[in-house]
């Protein structure tokens, strides 16, 4: 009986230790409502997945999170895309890998309002940008593009760029 009681006490002690360790870790992993974290290895894996999904516009994108006030997407480009303009959103880019020449400002030539699935209200594409300023961007750069500013990532031949795009409603 003495052995049995000691064994029971040990099980109780182990159960208490287990819950003392597990419960705080579970709460930490879940975080508050709306909390998310993407590790560098998860972002690299997402980039590899996008690399296998390149569309006719030489790009692929995945939505990482949609929140009340903003949206986070990963965009992978293997060639220059159409210049664009967001009427209602500010773009915040965090370049994950690769490089490009970012053209910002000026006038969007051949502007056409985007419609259909995935198009945000007020998104416009064009055929080129007249008079924009050029910036060399690469991994690690953080870029803020105001709403209504034409912009385009010009990818060098044989190159690529991957960036996180946080679309924030303009005020």
pLDDT tens-digit map of 142-171:
999 999 999 999 999 999 999 999 999 998
* Of 165, 129, 162, 160, the residue nearest 145 (C-alpha): 165
Taking the whole predicted model, whether its pTM rises above 0.85 is answered as no
Say which residues have a Cβ less than 8 Å from residue 138's Cβ, sequence separation at least 6: 95, 98, 99
Q: What share of the chain in percent tops pLDDT 70? A: 80
Which of 1-10, 65-74, 89-98 shows the lowest mean pLDDT across its residues? 1-10
C-alpha 17/C-alpha 20 separation (Å) is 5
Are the C-beta atoms of 166 and 92 separated by less than 8 Å?
yes
């Amino acid at each position: 009986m003495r052995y049995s009681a000691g064994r029971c006490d040990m099980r109780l002690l182990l159960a208490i230790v287990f819950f003392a360790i597990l419960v705080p870790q579970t709460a930490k992993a879940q975080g508050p409502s709306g909390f998310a974290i993407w590790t560098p290895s998860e972002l690299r894996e997402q980039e590899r997945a996008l690399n296998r999904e390149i569309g006719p516009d030489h790009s692929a994108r995945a939505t990482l999170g949609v929140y009340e006030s903003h949206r986070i997407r990963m965009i992978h480009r293997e060639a220059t895309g159409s210049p664009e303009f967001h009427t209602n959103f500010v773009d915040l880019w965090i370049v994950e890998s690769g490089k490009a020449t970012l053209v910002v400002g000026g006038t969007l030539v051949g502007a056409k309002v985007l419609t259909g699935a995935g198009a945000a209200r007020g998104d416009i594409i064009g055929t080129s940008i007249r008079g924009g300023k050029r910036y060399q961007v690469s991994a690690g750069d953080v870029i803020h593009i105001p709403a209504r500013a034409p912009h385009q990532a010009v990818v060098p031949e044989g190159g690529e760029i991957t960036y996180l795009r946080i679309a924030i409603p303009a005020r």
